[in-house]
Amino acid sequence: MLKSKNYQFWFCTGSQDLYGDVCLAHVAEHSQKIVEALNASGNLPYEVVWKPTLITNELIRKTLNEANTDENCAGVITWMHTFSPAKSWILGLQEYRKPLLHFHTQFNREIPYDTIDMDFMNENQAAHGDREYGHIFSRLGMERKVIMGYWEDADIQKKIGSWMRTAVGVIESSHIRVMRIADNMRNVAVTEGDKVEAQIKFGWEIDAYPVNEIAAEVESVSKGDIDALVEEYYDKYEILLEGRDEKEFREHVAVQAGIEIGFERFLEAKNYQAIVTHFGDLGSLRQLPGLAIQRLMEKGYGFAGEGDWKTAAMVRLMKIMTQGMKDAKGTSFMEDYTYNLVPGKEGILQAHMLEVCPSVAEGKISIKEQPLSMGDREDPARLVFTSKTGPAIATSLIDLGDRFRLIINDVDCKKVEKPMPKLPVATAFWTPQPNLQTGAEAWILAGGAHHTAFSYDLTSEQMGDWAACMGIEAVYIDRDTTIRQFRNELLWNSAVYRK
Ligand code: MN
């Protein structure tokens, strides 16, 4: 499900013909070495492809347009080894439409004190050429990422790798299709939004289907297929009967197995990568999709409850951005539920009615059945677990009427002090930065939702860069946040982002 293209990034070095062929031969040789080192480093999630040195307006324009149309190219990395007069870049950049990284590096690490002469200076003048080049982006008002540092350093290579994930998020955003089998929950404001504007800004297609169409797909799943999946569940997860009848329990689990198979078939057949449900609008479905949705999220589908298509699309987007990450800790839909306000132990207990992605789980995962306190269906089977510890981000995309705003909060995930044996849902627990009081105040001032798209594997920088590429407002709540400064940012942004 999470398989996407083997994206590549083009490495384009800028120069000019002022310094002669010998110099240009060195430029090409040096940039090839840098590309080889980047690819061999193991620090990049995608391949870098070397391109011939760009020295003229025509070649720059041609190369950047080829990058636009190459389906595998997710972005271009540029570097001015020598001086490349930036007027040569104007037409090419104006026509360029993909993410761009300005990698401000230099071939040599150290100034060669004993041998340095003017030939060396002219050949190795990124400090100078990259400033000329950077100027034209600022003049054009174009979005780009700038990373400065030595190309052999692992931390710099990792920064490039991190930006590559953002770039793939930008490219893949326009391939996200969200299936709504329920409308927004009645009277709820923050989960609403302008679907046309979302398609204009993010490329998302958000379509509604009658819930009974997907329910018919669920009903058509064969008993053999259901039994096989139930066996898999029983092998993989701990069964918490808690006094319930074994046979009835298994039958309820089988309903979720049918939903998982039927939903996945329906989504695949119609080419959707995210879905929303609503506990109050289940048609002929026998249970609120719980375990089934949790498993689909783990496979890479986006999801959010109560018709919240914005969060469902964000969960899908963030799963794409973390794709193939070694030692990934997980990405999920989440909801702020209840606080612990004990001094020194402050935090927010996170859960949802049922639907938390098992990718964030730590330790054993069990199947439970409990009545829902809402709706009118069978007691649904769900996976219960607690989540990993460590730094993570919680994001909320809201529609302010005249614009979208992405709120990004750095959070520290912790274990709760004690088990919660009576709580029948998967949970996480975190303290927002800079602390619960300021974090929650800032979140509420920004208008952030109770639903979030949450990930241990992405950074606020990556999500902020994605928002910048999408041309939307992003606000960060992190260890530097103060309420006075934050209120000012919101005020200034309201002027900057006004349509
Ligand atoms: Mn909810």
CA of 483 to the centre of ligand 1 (A): 27
The pLDDT assigned to 499 comes to 63
φ, ψ for residue 276 (rounded to 5)?
-120, 150
CA of 447 to the centre of ligand 1 (A): 16
CA of 305 to the centre of ligand 1 (A): 5
CA of 469 to the centre of ligand 1 (A): 29
Region 91-109: mean pLDDT is 98
Based on its alpha-carbon atoms, the radius of gyration of the chain, rounded to whole angstroms, reads 25
Contact indicator for 365, 356 with CB cutoff of 8 Å: no
The pLDDT assigned to 374 comes to 75
CA of 498 to the centre of ligand 1 (A): 29
Q: Which amino acid is at 240?
A: L
Which of 97-111, 219-233, 365-379 has the least mean pLDDT? 365-379
The pLDDT assigned to 2 comes to 66
Q: pLDDT tens digit string along 172-225?
A: 999 999 999 999 999 999 999 999 999 999 999 999 999 999 999 999 999 999
CA of 451 to the centre of ligand 1 (A): 6
Q: pLDDT tens digit string along 13-70?
A: 999 888 889 999 999 999 999 999 999 999 999 999 999 999 999 999 999 999 999 9
Before 52, cis peptide (omega within 30)?
A: no
Contacts of 229 (CB under 8 A, 6+ apart): 257, 260, 261
Region 256-261: mean pLDDT is 98
Sequence-ordered strand ranges (E) for 170-237 = 177-180, 205-208
Band the pLDDT of 375: cuts 50, 70, 90.
confident
CA of 211 to the centre of ligand 1 (A): 18
What is the residue-averaged pLDDT of the chain? 96
Q: pLDDT tens digit string along 323-362?
A: 999 999 999 999 999 999 999 999 999 999 999 999 999 9
The pLDDT assigned to 18 comes to 86
CA of 194 to the centre of ligand 1 (A): 19
CA of 435 to the centre of ligand 1 (A): 24
CA of 62 to the centre of ligand 1 (A): 49
CA of 306 to the centre of ligand 1 (A): 6
CA of 352 to the centre of ligand 1 (A): 6
Band the pLDDT of 5: cuts 50, 70, 90.
confident
SS3 132: helix
CA of 403 to the centre of ligand 1 (A): 23
CA of 411 to the centre of ligand 1 (A): 20
Is the pLDDT score of 376 beyond 90? no
The pLDDT assigned to 372 comes to 85
CA of 288 to the centre of ligand 1 (A): 13
Q: pLDDT tens digit string along 286-296?
A: 999 999 999 99
CA of 321 to the centre of ligand 1 (A): 24
CA of 182 to the centre of ligand 1 (A): 13
CA of 487 to the centre of ligand 1 (A): 27
Q: Are strands 302-304 and 274-276 parallel, antiparallel or unpaired?
A: parallel
Task: Tell which residue, 389, 379, 335, has the closest CA to residue 357.
Answer: 335
Is the pLDDT score of 140 beyond 90? yes
CA of 165 to the centre of ligand 1 (A): 28
The fraction of the chain above a pLDDT of 70, given in percent, is 99
CA of 275 to the centre of ligand 1 (A): 14
CA of 161 to the centre of ligand 1 (A): 33
The pLDDT assigned to 455 comes to 98
The pLDDT assigned to 17 comes to 86
d(CA 465, CA 365): 35
Tell me how far CA of residue 425 lies from CA of 240, 350, 428, 439, in angstroms: 12, 10, 10, 25
Tell me how far CA of residue 322 lies from CA of 14, 63, 309, 326, 463, in angstroms: 31, 29, 20, 9, 12
Ion ligand 1 neighbours (CB, 5 A) are: 305-306, 335
SS3 179: strand
Q: pLDDT tens digit string along 380-419?
A: 999 999 999 999 999 999 999 999 999 999 999 999 999 9
Band the pLDDT of 98: cuts 50, 70, 90.
very high
The pLDDT assigned to 472 comes to 97
